[in-house]
Structure 1
Amino acid sequence: MIIGIGNDMESISRIEGVLSRRPNFLSTILTPAEQEAVQKRTGKHYLEFVAGRFSAKEAYAKALGTGIGRDVSWQDISILNAKSGRPVMKVVGQKNRIEVAITHSGDYVNTVVTIERASWLQRFAARFIGRKEN
């Protein structure tokens, strides 16, 4: 059962401007693992990565219904890619299933996040078997 849906759209050029004005922006919004991953990208792909992660975290906070702040911080949310390239979101303390989609077009990135209440079987599998990513 879906318990939250969040959507966010961000201008990549706006994020580029923020990066030039605020040198600590990356360390504020990206986890150390995300910061390592973004360093492997250049040019347009670097900016798309940062804007996509920012937007996806905003979308998650909207799905949660709390926004970024007291209940969830930028550093609680990590989005890395599976071997297939699919983005995978992990959130500290979140037991429910999270799906994220990130898409870029021109100067914009759009993200959608769903939070789905995990069934007892999914919770059991995640705890004792683990979820394999392809």
Structure 2
Amino acid sequence: MIIGIGSDLIDIRRVEDTLKRFGERFTQRCFTEVERKKSDRRAARAASYAKRFAAKEACAKALGTGIRQGVVWRDMGVVNLPGGQPTMALTGAAALRLQKITPAGRHAVIHITITDDYPLAQAFVVIEALPD
């Protein structure tokens, strides 16, 4: 059962400008430590951050809250499963919201796909509730 869908498209040049203007102030505010380490190692650093930012926006839409109702950027973090597939790790208000929208007797699985083709980055998030 699908309980949430979200998508987002972002201009990588906007993230490039934000990184130049605000640097660590931006990355510390919006990204988890795991995301910062991964993105800072990339040659296409801005594209990496842009994909993760788009994933957060898409996840917030899938949760039905957007970035409000206590859900903040760092409550959602792109992490990779052992095989490399991306997914989202939720904490704080985002995790509470996921718990609230997940029907009894089911557990939530978050599927994401992220991509970029300069100057755009895109993310899709599907939240599925599977039987326990």
Which of the five TM-score ranges fits, normalised by the shorter chain? 0.7 to 0.9
AA aligned opposite 2:12 = I
Instruction: Establish whether residue 108 from structure 1 lines up as the match of residue 124 from structure 2.
Output: no
Counterpart Cα distance in 2 of 1:6 and 1:16 = 24
Structure 2, unpaired ranges of 5+: 100-107
Of Structure 1 and Structure 2, the greater strand share is in: 2
Counterpart Cα distance in 2 of 1:74 and 1:25 = 11
RMSD of equivalent CA atoms = 1.4
- Percent identity at matched positions? 37
Number of equivalenced pairs: 118
SS in 1 for 2:42: coil
Shift of 1:88: 1.9
1:87-102 matches, within 5 Å, as 87-92=86-91, 93=95, 94-95=98-99, 96-102=108-114
Structure 1, unpaired ranges of 5+: 121-134
TM-score (norm 1): 0.81
Instruction: Establish whether residue 82 from structure 1 lines up as the match of residue 94 from structure 2.
Output: no
TM-score (norm 2): 0.82
Counterpart Cα distance in 1 of 2:66 and 2:19 = 22
* Residues 70-113 of structure 1: per-residue CA shift (max 9 Å, x gap): 33211111112234332121112345110000011121011100
